[in-house]
Structure 1
């Protein structure tokens, strides 16, 4: 007898080939048959009229902390993600010491937008090594999860406060390499880092990895190449274009490791200038290929909308001359933003910036804490300014100050036009691009990209008809799984792991995004329940049915070399 049979569904197997109507049988967590199954099972699911597909593979999440108190990894599990990779951007919680954790936890809260009160209450760092961290999660997760080793964490462990003051000495690089070696041998999936100008810690200082010399990055990457089934991830810059140093850093890291390096994030926006920026960034892949490396862009498969605030300060601190003010404590920042001289400095710094969040007039008031400001919610700042006879910049700051900086601000979202969607879908077929970059588990008050997979199915497949369901599923499952060498995952095949989703192709979507105070210590986040997602199954066990968790925890801890095959850059 089989453990589970999903009967009569339209099977989209993740390979990109045409769908078929078939049963899918499962036993001991593996697919045992795809076709007409006559025997019975302990549990059967009628999938008539529904799609049966591999679960989504999300290779860019930040669930390192949340996984310790939320085994379901919501909302990703609700939206059909069955495999999630954490430890990105150089920010990880293992290996660790109490001294390092005292810095790393508030840093993580700042750079990845997690409520510090939630981390303080729920995150209990009772491990030291990477092996102990993975052991802590064993049999405690609903999804398959794996983690990279973060550069900033390694630097903090080895250098202490000097990690945010200077480059490392050769002995310090050797010590970091030794910690990385131990972590990779324990199952870490690879190494991650960031050079992004947006990554500053809770005191406004560049995070540890931003102080590293290029040779340090290359040496650590070389160690990655000594371990099977490993990979690299980097945030090279948030500049509109990559300079030659960014090209060279990624190429050298990848070539030294002989592993692919993926970078975050390629966005698609309209206009000739944006087309030039994309061509420049994708050129990093061509440059690396010529030098024995492989560089892959993660492309967000949806239009990115942002909910910012001057209380968090994230992204506003990347505008020229803004970082010092955004690093001030909330009370001091509120006072500074009411000062005319400070405003003039900030206005001048943002003038001419191509960033969407510096477009004051087209920014929309997303939400407000103060009751008196509710009439402004949903309105353009430019329209409010015209009514009040004021400058849009001053209007925005005045409203934010009246709300103690809590005011939610939504810059104009770019990339939802027909041409941008056509380009987004075209890039799906570019071998320099893989769909991803959800950042799930991070920026909880700021983005809704945790639902990017269901959003892509809704917009690109159903509403616009730009890509077939078969190809869309392939790009969301098999391709990211193949990039990371995930063994027997990302597609439906006999003998493969039974990570499956059952959904209504006519109804599937991201659902309505709302703010919910469902985090520890009353912390809130943006989240949503999907539409049309009927079942989510991990290793043959249903974990979600009708947007409700079953309570089962069948997730597997992914370890390099055991659960991953080696993907070489020079293959």
Structure 2
């Protein structure tokens, strides 16, 4: 016995009631869970008195985009501050591998436009020491890392690798090549395969991301590989021709778990999300709709108007370099074309859009743009552009995009047919920070709102993703499982206010949220956080192989 955790209130991740217990760790595994005082330490055992703190499995975040950040940030912050001990990246069909040298710029520009990543950070931070997906996993495996990491192989880099970026259906020979590369990736340890049909996913130069040019048969053919191998999860970002009926069909035909994003609750469409859950649940197959426990709120500047890419005319903006975008905003002809489409598409968002950060317009911070525009005799569309231009593009707007149906979010969290995810950690770093979803769930939805029990919340963060994603020996406090553990105070666990920091490669900034009440963490039996502070230099994380 190397470590004995005494006087814990153990919530084991199964959903069973909390119980007082001691937990023993030998090497990287939990060796025993016993009644208080039942486990005796040896002469060299480290004993930690948890004094009634909740001891839970380390949290598993199944929806991150750390594919690039892991190449420069061994700590994978902010996730590592919030009780998360394992992350899955490569979601939504995106990633950095496989990538040929001639396609690196397209991959970077795709991540910039779709996932709101800083091009400066990507250019300065990515070490292109790989080309194939197995090369990439090997590079991740070699690197020091605080957390455990698993990865999907994404459809967009895969398709770019095979078709060279041509915007067309793949040939039968190209589909066979992609199938072979997915087979190779899963054999090397990929968690599964991810893809996107999402119309808002506009990539390099404002063009649709490569996966959107795939015909449905191509997606089915690649999914078949997972079925043939008998392993791997399929993750899909919804879009035309790919929704609950197709997810059910994929799951049944190939015997694979399918998870899809995103199921959101909108205040202007009450009950719609729950009706979708019912519709999906009536169909056969192992299918998990992913939900978020926080409103999806972004801070965007007009230099990086990523969410507006869902509107066709804004694809012209994403197609030009950031330094040239102000010129389009000043162009009267472009405004004339963009105005009606933008006003209509965002009609439900203008009341939830306001200035958040600015150098020149402090007098209007927090005022909804629709009201401010009416007072000034203009439109919210024109006002947003004029405020940005008059502040040298420095003004940032707070926009509530989705998941603002608060009561329905609580109902979705209580419905065990949904899977908690969508933190998007590693993406949209200058625009939002939802990597804190775990501590927000425990503080807001459990303690403050009592929307679900502490045991159910821990199950959502641990035992449920363990089962849905087939993550072996992680996600439960059970003898034989890896000693990924978090000890927190249920009376104080939560989040701090969001803050902007400049700590990314190339001098790029990002938004971060810190935690409260997360006192201790262990990854593979090694302490990574003690007394509420990170252990400097701790890097016990491992590659999670599917």
Category of TM-score, reference length = shorter chain? over 0.9
C-alpha distance in 2, partners of 1:309/1:320? Answer: 19
- Does residue 260 (structure 1) correspond to residue 250 (structure 2)? The answer is no
CA-to-aligned-CA distance 1:89-145 (integer Å, 9 cap, x gap): 111222332123232222223221111111111211112232222222225222111
- Does residue 280 (structure 1) correspond to residue 276 (structure 2)? The answer is yes
* SS of alignment partner, residue 494 of structure 2: coil
Stretches of structure 1 that go unaligned for 5 or more consecutive residues are 238-242, 561-571
The 5 Å alignment of 1:296-307 reads 296-307=288-299
CA-to-aligned-CA distance 1:493-524 (integer Å, 9 cap, x gap): 11111110011111111212111111111111
Q: TM-score, normalised by structure 2?
A: 0.93
Greater CA drift, 217-226 or 100-109: 100-109
Tell me how far 1:251 sits from its aligned partner. 3.4
C-alpha distance in 2, partners of 1:416/1:157? Answer: 38
The aligned counterpart of 1:44 is 47
C-alpha distance in 2, partners of 1:56/1:488? Answer: 13
The answer to whether the 8 Å contact 2:64/2:88 transfers is yes
The aligned counterpart of 1:215 is 217
The answer to whether the 8 Å contact 1:508/1:530 transfers is yes
The answer to whether the 8 Å contact 1:196/1:236 transfers is yes
**Distance change >3 Å, CA 102–CA 343, structure 1 → 2:** closer
C-alpha distance in 2, partners of 1:307/1:393? Answer: 16
* SS of alignment partner, residue 155 of structure 1: helix
The answer to whether the 8 Å contact 2:109/2:205 transfers is no
The aligned counterpart of 1:188 is 190
The aligned counterpart of 1:64 is 67
The 5 Å alignment of 1:486-497 reads 486-497=471-482
Instruction: Pick from 134, 142, 146 the counterpart of residue 146 of structure 2.
Output: 142
The aligned counterpart of 2:397 is 409
The 5 Å alignment of 1:444-463 reads 444-463=429-448
Instruction: Pick from 221, 230, 233 the counterpart of residue 232 of structure 2.
Output: 230
The aligned counterpart of 2:30 is 31
The answer to whether the 8 Å contact 1:221/1:256 transfers is no
The aligned counterpart of 1:107 is 110
C-alpha distance in 2, partners of 1:438/1:257? Answer: 28
CA-to-aligned-CA distance 1:220-265 (integer Å, 9 cap, x gap): 000111224311001012xxxxx76534443343334310110111
C-alpha distance in 1, partners of 2:126/2:400? Answer: 35
The answer to whether the 8 Å contact 1:88/1:150 transfers is yes
Tell me how far 1:417 sits from its aligned partner. 6.4
* SS of alignment partner, residue 124 of structure 1: coil
Greater CA drift, 92-101 or 60-69: 92-101
* SS of alignment partner, residue 262 of structure 2: strand
C-alpha distance in 2, partners of 1:112/1:530? Answer: 24
Tell me how far 1:294 sits from its aligned partner. 2.8
Tell me how far 1:285 sits from its aligned partner. 4.7
The answer to whether the 8 Å contact 1:361/1:392 transfers is no
The answer to whether the 8 Å contact 2:97/2:136 transfers is yes
Number of corresponding residues: 540
C-alpha distance in 1, partners of 2:535/2:85? Answer: 13
CA-to-aligned-CA distance 1:365-407 (integer Å, 9 cap, x gap): 1112xx3223333333245435544433322221011133332
The aligned counterpart of 2:206 is 204
- Does residue 367 (structure 1) correspond to residue 393 (structure 2)? The answer is no
C-alpha distance in 2, partners of 1:75/1:325? Answer: 30
Stretches of structure 2 that go unaligned for 5 or more consecutive residues are none
The answer to whether the 8 Å contact 1:266/1:278 transfers is no
Q: TM-score, normalised by structure 1?
A: 0.90
The aligned counterpart of 2:78 is 75
C-alpha distance in 2, partners of 1:112/1:142? Answer: 23
- Does residue 125 (structure 1) correspond to residue 111 (structure 2)? The answer is no
CA-to-aligned-CA distance 1:283-308 (integer Å, 9 cap, x gap): 24534x1xxx3321011122222222
Tell me how far 1:420 sits from its aligned partner. 2.8
The 5 Å alignment of 1:492-503 reads 492-503=477-488
The answer to whether the 8 Å contact 2:159/2:165 transfers is no
C-alpha distance in 2, partners of 1:135/1:226? Answer: 24
The aligned counterpart of 2:21 is 22
**Distance change >3 Å, CA 350–CA 302, structure 1 → 2:** same
The answer to whether the 8 Å contact 2:92/2:237 transfers is yes
C-alpha distance in 1, partners of 2:403/2:20? Answer: 36
**Distance change >3 Å, CA 392–CA 201, structure 1 → 2:** closer
Tell me how far 1:541 sits from its aligned partner. 0.6
**Distance change >3 Å, CA 130–CA 355, structure 1 → 2:** farther
- Does residue 311 (structure 1) correspond to residue 315 (structure 2)? The answer is no
The answer to whether the 8 Å contact 1:320/1:350 transfers is no
Instruction: Pick from 97, 101, 108 the counterpart of residue 94 of structure 1.
Output: 97
